[in-house]
Structure formats: structure tokens, C-alpha cells
Structure 1
Amino acid sequence: MNHTSQTFFTRANTGLPPNYEMLKEEHEVATLGTAPVTSTVINIRSDTSVPDHVVWSLFNTLFMNWCCLGFVAFAYSVKSRDRKMVGDVTGAQAYASTARCLNISALIFSILTIVIVIVLLIIFSDVIFRVFHR
């Protein structure tokens, strides 16, 4: 068994300066698989905007306070704003969600009440009109 070793002479071994193509090939080889993959993680603190629905609750309290739902919604809105000022985003979202549900309920019940009153006024005015014309 004859072991012969071959030495490969590259431009770096011969003492000649490397040309551009050689440097480009070495860079491509280095970037293809030998370099470890690195990743950068950036933690961005998200200031999630929690809507507290204070204006909507105040409107429902003043104009559409059906069974005090508007007032209760206003109380939950204020609690949501307080939680948001303290920095408790989860608590603020919970109170805001409750305030939104109460505002929707107050709005629906108030609109239904107004529609029913208008329908009853139209029906009774028609009945009264017919009674006076007979």
C-alpha cells in the first residue's frame, strides 16, 4: 500500500494575491452552508389601544338609559379606563367588553322601545281618527 499525498496549490498557497473571482467563490461557499444561521428577535412592546367606550356609555346614560343599562355601562367604562391607566390591559379589556355588551343591549332595547311607541302612536291615532269621523 503506497500512500501518496497530493498537495493542491491554490493561489493562497503560492503567494500570489487572490483575484476577484476566487474571493467571490469563497464567499459563496461560506454563505451556502458553513455559516451558522442566526436570527434576531426584536420585542416590540405593543401599546394595544383598548377602547373604553366612555362616550358611548355617556350617550346611553343620558339619552337611552333603558333600565339603567346605560349607567351600568358607564360604570364599567370608567373601570376600564382606570385599569388602562394602571397598565392592566387584560382587566381593561374585560371591563371594556362588558361595557360594550351593556351599551349594545341598552341601544337595542331603547330603539325597540322607540319603534314600538311610534307604531302604537300610529295605530292609536288611526283608531282615534276613525272614531271622530263616524
Structure 2
Amino acid sequence: MNRSSQPFFPGAHAAVPPSYEVLKEEHEVAVLGTPQSPAPVTTTVINIRSETSVPDHIVWSLFNTIFMNWCCLGFVAFAYSVKSRDRKMVGDVTGAQTYASTAKCLNIWALVLGLLLTIAFIILCATGSLMVFQAISEMVKGYGGY
């Protein structure tokens, strides 16, 4: 077989046609297998941990801490999220899952309670301002009769 050096990119030397002998030789090696030698074959084993992704809900907890912190549920959820992340870094997957599920539950309660209380506050302010406007308009009507 003729081994001539070929550029990797065929466009580098456009005048020289590509030689397919190298590919043929590689195919023959792949079909025949590796050459047998008297030296023992050493293998390398790489153990890759199948790391299960445990969401720690830290961004959601931070949001609830800053914006929806009714009854300090957002702050408690943030603390559990940090504990979950710490357990995940140590390698304790079950502990991380336990803390993460507690943080998720607290985040749900903080979000629902925060939304309900915010909506109730808006409704209360709107009806209160309507009551004040109605009271003022009746006072003005009462003074107009004199």
C-alpha cells in the first residue's frame, strides 16, 4: 500500500486528487481486528456516576423570599433549598430529595398564600376607596341643600 501524506482538507491542494488507499487500509484493520501480541491486554475502567438530578428550587425560594414572604414561608423555603443543595454537594441524594420536597411544598404554600393575600389586599383597597368616594359624594350632596 502506498502511504502518501494527504492534507486533511481536500481544498488545500486542489491540484492533487485525493487518495483513498488510507481509508481502505483503515477499513482492513477494522475488519481484521487488532494485531495479536504476546503482551497482556490492559483495560481501563471509568466509573461514571449516574447522578440523578435533584432540583433544589433555590431560585423559586429566593423569589418567594423577596416578593411573597407572607408568614416567612419564603425564607424557610430558601433555608431548606440551601440545605438541599448542601446535601447534593456532599453526595447524599436521599437527604437532598427530602429537603427539596420540603422546600417545594413550602414554596407552593408561600406562593398560594402570597397571591391570595395580595389579591385580597387589592380588593380591599379598591372597595375601600369606592366607599370613601361614595361617602364624600354624599357629604357634598348634603352640603348642597343649604
TM category, shorter:
0.5 to 0.7
Aligned residue for 1:8?
Answer: none
Structure number with greater Rg is 1
* Structure 1 counterpart of 2:106, from 63, 82, 102: 102
Q: Would you say 1:59 and 2:63 are equivalent positions?
A: yes
**TM-score, with structure 2 as normaliser:** 0.60
Provide the C-alpha distance between the structure 2 equivalents of 1:77 and 1:55, rounded to a whole number of angstroms: 9
Off by >6 Å, runs of 4+ in structure 1? none
Aligned residue for 2:78?
Answer: 74
Provide the C-alpha distance between the structure 2 equivalents of 1:76 and 1:117, rounded to a whole number of angstroms: 29
Unaligned ranges ≥5, structure 2: 1-47, 139-146
- Amino acid of the residue matched to residue 85 of structure 1? M
CA apart distance, 1:108: 0.6
CA apart distance, 1:62: 1.2
Unaligned ranges ≥5, structure 1: 1-43
Provide the C-alpha distance between the structure 2 equivalents of 1:94 and 1:110, rounded to a whole number of angstroms: 24
**TM-score, with structure 1 as normaliser:** 0.65
Matching of residues 1-134 of structure 1 within 5 Å: 45-134=49-138
Provide the C-alpha distance between the structure 1 equivalents of 2:68 and 2:117, rounded to a whole number of angstroms: 10
CA apart distance, 1:46: 2.6
Q: How many pairs are equivalent?
A: 92
Give percent identity, aligned residues only.
Answer: 69
Question: Secondary structure at the residue paired with 2:52?
Answer: coil
CA apart distance, 1:45: 4.4
